[in-house]
Amino acid sequence: MDPVRTDPELGPLVEEHGDRPIGAADDEFERLVVAVVNQQLSVESAAAIRDRLFDRVEITPSGVLAADESTLRDVGLSGQKVEYVRNVAEAFRDRDLTREGLRDADDDEVVETLTEIRGVGVWTAKIYLIFVLGRPDVFPVEDLGVRAGMARLYGYDSDDRDGMIEHAERWRPYRSYASRYLWMAVE
């Protein structure tokens, strides 16, 4: 993680916050459901919906598929998010999307596999790569927090994704870790 530690902007965040783990999710399915719930929502809204969902529904593929649509809507999921969460449940039921099942797939193959699920985009797939599969070199430039961190620390315009991707090359092969500290820069 040396390129992250020695970065003049990220290094002080590493010093302040210590090492930040990746791949810490205990339950692969649960983490992907959380990523889908979190899409395009504020942190507070997503947390409230997630908490209600976890209180009322068994977060397993069979539990989500067995839940009434009204229950899923009552916890705060939009009709579209209900569809997406069920699509994820069906994909987990039908395919091995666990760490073990995706172990031999490279990052691009994982993104391709996951984005075949309606409701799972590139951002969600990259979050899965980082927080479930523990892949060390993922740069989720699609993430608003990552772009805000790049803007705050390095002065990028938040729309300059190409510039950010080019900048992030200096952190290779630890871009996932750099992303953790970019999020911290705006928290």
The model's pLDDT over 46-95, given as tens digits with 9 standing for 90+, comes to 899 999 999 999 999 999 999 999 999 999 999 999 999 999 999 999 99
pLDDT above 70 as % of the chain = 100
Q: From CA 158, how far away is CA 176, in angstroms rounded?
A: 19
Domain CATH code at residue 180: 1.10.1670.40
Is the CA virtual torsion 113, 118, 121, 124 positive or negative?
negative
- Domains identified in the chain, total number: 2
- Return the pLDDT at 185: 93
DSSP for residue 33: H
Question: Buried b vs exposed e over 126-143: b needs ≥16 C-beta within 10 Å?
Answer: bbbbbbbbebbbbbbbeb
Domain that holds residue 34: 28-131
Domain CATH code at residue 75: 1.10.340.30
Question: Which pTM does this prediction carry?
Answer: 0.90
